[in-house]
């Protein structure tokens, strides 16, 4: 914010007037899983771009086939993994361990710890799963300070990972099946539509409007 203020004070004042929880992850009051993007939607659009040129029935069938292929691939991935959490979470935990090695942690209560580094002093509460740096509660995964606190205890670091990062939850997410559709020769054909709301037949209305002009 100070850098923005140095370049443009009006921009600084405009941002400062907006509640911080609306634009800064540090002040976000609920759990937020890193950066939210539409990249996955855009990838799916690229895969299905050729379907736009197809007739409706073929486009629907291609969409179903690609969705089933997508789900099946991730089902296989989920059962191949032998880790407790997803690869994203495991990578985050590895980085947190590296950061935690550079911190000094001291126990000040059953679940509360003081964590010191060269430039910072943070407080970790493992029971509430919070840290004054706010990364712990914002991401739902232990930060470097929390990892430093966990290493001086007999606690398991995976007990402090949000359930959405657990491999069991990943498998459950992709456990559904896109059932195949029957051949068009087996479709149920509905009866022809009837125009009950018209007081006059449509053909008569067209004729009447033509001669009124």
Reported pTM: 0.65
Q: Which residue has the higher pLDDT, 81 or 205?
A: 81
* Residue-wise pLDDT tens digits, 167-179: 999 999 888 888 8
Instruction: Give how many domains the chain has, as a whole number.
Output: 1
- Asked if residue 6 belongs to a domain, the reply is no
* Residue-wise pLDDT tens digits, 77-114: 989 989 999 999 999 999 999 999 999 999 998 899 99
- Asked if residue 188 belongs to a domain, the reply is no
- Asked if residue 195 belongs to a domain, the reply is no
Place of tokens 């691939």: 73
- Asked if residue 162 belongs to a domain, the reply is yes
Degrees to nearest 5, angle at CA 32 with 67 and 126: 125
Query: Residue 23 has what pLDDT?
Result: 75
Range of the domain at 139: 31-179
- The mean pLDDT of the chain is 83
Q: Which two tokens stand for residue 209?
A: 């409007």
- Cβ neighbours of residue 115 closer than 8 Å, sequence gap 6 or more: 103, 104, 105, 106, 121, 122, 123, 124, 131, 145, 148, 149
């Amino acid at each position: 914010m100070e850098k923005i203020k140095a370049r443009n004070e009006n921009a600084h004042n405009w941002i400062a007037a907006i509640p911080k929880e609306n634009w800064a992850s540090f002040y976000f009051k609920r759990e937020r899983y890193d950066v939210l993007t539409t990249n996955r939607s855009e990838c799916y659009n690229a895969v299905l771009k050729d379907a736009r040129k197809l007739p409706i029935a073929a486009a629907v069938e291609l969409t179903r086939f690609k969705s089933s292929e997508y789900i099946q691939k991730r089902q296989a991935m989920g059962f191949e993994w032998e880790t407790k959490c997803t690869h994203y979470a495991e990578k985050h935990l590895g980085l947190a361990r590296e950061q935690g090695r550079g911190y000094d942690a001291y126990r000040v209560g059953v679940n509360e710890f003081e964590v010191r580094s060269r430039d910072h002093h943070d407080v970790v509460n493992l029971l509430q799963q919070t840290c004054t740096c706010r990364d712990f509660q914002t991401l739902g995964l232990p930060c470097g300070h929390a990892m430093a606190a966990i290493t001086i205890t007999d606690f398991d670091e995976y007990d402090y990972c949000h359930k959405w990062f657990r491999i069991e939850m990943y498998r459950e997410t992709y456990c559904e099946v896109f059932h195949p559709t029957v051949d068009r020769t087996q479709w149920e054909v509905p009866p022809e539509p009837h125009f009950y709301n018209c007081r006059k037949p449509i053909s008569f209305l067209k004729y009447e409007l033509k001669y009124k002009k």
